[in-house]
Structure 1
Amino acid sequence: MKKEKAALKKKIWSRSSTILPGHVGSSVRIYNGNTHVHCKITEGKIEHKFGGFAFARKVARHPRAK
């Protein structure tokens, strides 16, 4: 239980860092420029960058026409 809480506290500020096989199975929080976004590392995310999983921009939502 303590190891899980410690893993959730691991924060990544470098979005350009590559995810290595040693990270598989861990949960990290990636900084998107405003807040830290929770992300669980799986095998499919190996060799990708951390920044690809923490979107830095909001999706523009247009108001509905009445």
Structure 2
Amino acid sequence: MLRFLFLGLVIYGIAIGLRDGWLIVKWSQLFYNVGFSQVDPEKPMNWSEFIIDRLTENESKQDKD
């Protein structure tokens, strides 16, 4: 039970840190390092463009099958 309390506090702390600007995540650089080579690590992340590109890729793959 104590583990769940600790986990909850960690998640809460990370969420507050992101909201208040204490933690800054460079999403484009993170995705590039993970393996998304189409993302430019120097540009800020455009979430709508990223999601739309992923959806169109999935649709084109399904059409080929």
TM-score range relative to shorter protein: under 0.3
**Larger Cα Rg: Structure 1 or Structure 2?**
2
Q: Hey, which of these two has a bigger chunk of strand by percent?
A: 1
Q: Hey, which of these two has a bigger chunk of helix by percent?
A: 2
Structure number with greater CO (CA < 8 Å, separation at least 6) is: 1
- What is the TM-score when the length of structure 1 is the normalising length? 0.23
